Amino acid sequence: MTAWMTLWTILIVAGGLGMVGLLLGVTSGAVSELKETLAELSGEEAGPETEGAAQADSP
């Protein structure tokens, strides 16, 4: 197997395992974060156009 084919094999295997890991690691956390986001948006009243900017980058 050439160096190129070794590199491509590593990339393909890493891509496959990475996708499985992402599905397992992110999904449940993302669902709870979505609930928090929707809760925040539900409590937020319509404001001026710069409102989003003003609340961003909280420490």
**Contacts with another protein in 34-53 (CB under 8 A)?**
34, 36-38, 40-42, 44-49, 51-53
**Can residue 11 be called a binding residue for another protein (CB under 8 A)?**
yes
Q: Which residues contact 33 (CB under 8 A, 6 or more apart)?
A: none
- Identify which of 47, 36, 34 has the alpha carbon closest to the alpha carbon of residue 55: 47
DSSP 50: T
Placement of tokens 């948006």 in the chain: 41
Does residue 6 bind another protein (CB under 8 A)?
A: no
- List residues near another protein by CB under 8 A: 2, 4-5, 7-8, 11-12, 14-16, 18-23, 26-27, 29-31, 33-34, 36-38, 40-42, 44-49, 51-53, 55-59
